[in-house]
Amino acid sequence: MISEIQLSIELKEEAKKQGFDPVGIARIPGSKRIKMRNAALERWLEAGFQADMQWMKAERRKNIDSLLDGVESVLVVGLNYYTGPFPKTKNSLLIGRYAWGNDYHKVIEKKLKKIGHWLKNKSTKCKWEICVDSKPLLEKAWAEEAGLGWIGKNSNLIHKDQGSWMVLGYLLCTEKLTPDKPSIPLCGKCKKCIDACPTKAITEPFVINSNKCLAFHNIESREKKLPVNIQERIGNWIAGCDICQEVCPWNHQKITPNEDPDVQPKEWVKNLTIEQVLSWNEKIWQDKLKNSALKRIKPWMWRRNANAIVASRKKYDLNK
């Protein structure tokens, strides 16, 4: 029989073999900090900051036990999607880095399945369940609990060496594993992310009002036309927004680019133009969005966002 400590060590090593870094383990039910994060979620929902994202209200999100009967531990993994500096011109259409490569949901799930089968071979009675952000889990809180980083003032998880350029995955299991120490917040007095947000969506440290967030409006909102205040400040962000991450000092240190083919930017993502967005038919969009997290944005939404950018550019040029 392998010991709990040894199994935990080997499990994290296996996760790193799959390309995850950082990795960590948390035990259920977690520390008092989990209760604090649940309370913060309740306040956020009561304020209506979830906008149209009603799935954020799922009660299961506050109870990890609801995702796997008998869950004892959770392996939390980070997938670095930073691929190095990207040259931009004045009119370059901008897309959030998390979506440059293949659909991270599928990439993470595939890797975690291999780890789950590995764990099952080590402990035949162990049951496991995979979670990515499409399932109701308090994702960043459990990542913080497992020592992968702290939740920054822009609500992103920040690792002291890798910054915030990572997506997260979770392997819940019924095995008792040795937990890592929870992360300690290191944002200090810095508020660069708050100051840089063009729509003032970061209403106070750690609190994002989705009603004001560019990324919510150009990815999640199903309104036929973007609000005027969003159109005026959309810049060139056709899908997502990385401004609060780009200004974060923790992302200005030397971060090793990930060479995994799954996270490399697709050619059309790197060279997308307004003309393409407005002219591509449904078949072209279907081909381009295949195996991409960007398929959440429907073709008509891409055109809506492009029209908002065009209107913003015209207003900017006129004011000049």
29 preceded by cis ω (within 30°)?
yes
Relative orientation angle of helices 282-289 and 299-319, to the nearest 10 degrees: 100
Three-state secondary structure of 114-181: HHHHHHHHHCCCCCEEEECCCCCCCHHHHHHHCCCCEECCCCCEEECCCECCEEEEEEEECCCCCCCC
Polymer length in residues for the chain: 320
**Amino acid at the residue 101:** G
Burial 59-89 (b: 16+ CB within 10 A, else e): eebbebeebbeebebbbbbbbbbbbeeeeee
Catalytic residue among 69, 103, 133, 260: 133
Cβ atoms < 10 Å from Cβ of 257: 14
Return d(Cα 257, Cα 111) in angstroms, integer. Answer: 19
Residue found under tokens 């500096």? 85
Cα Rg of the chain, angstroms = 20
Q: Catalytic site residue 195?
A: no
The residues annotated as belonging to the active site are 133
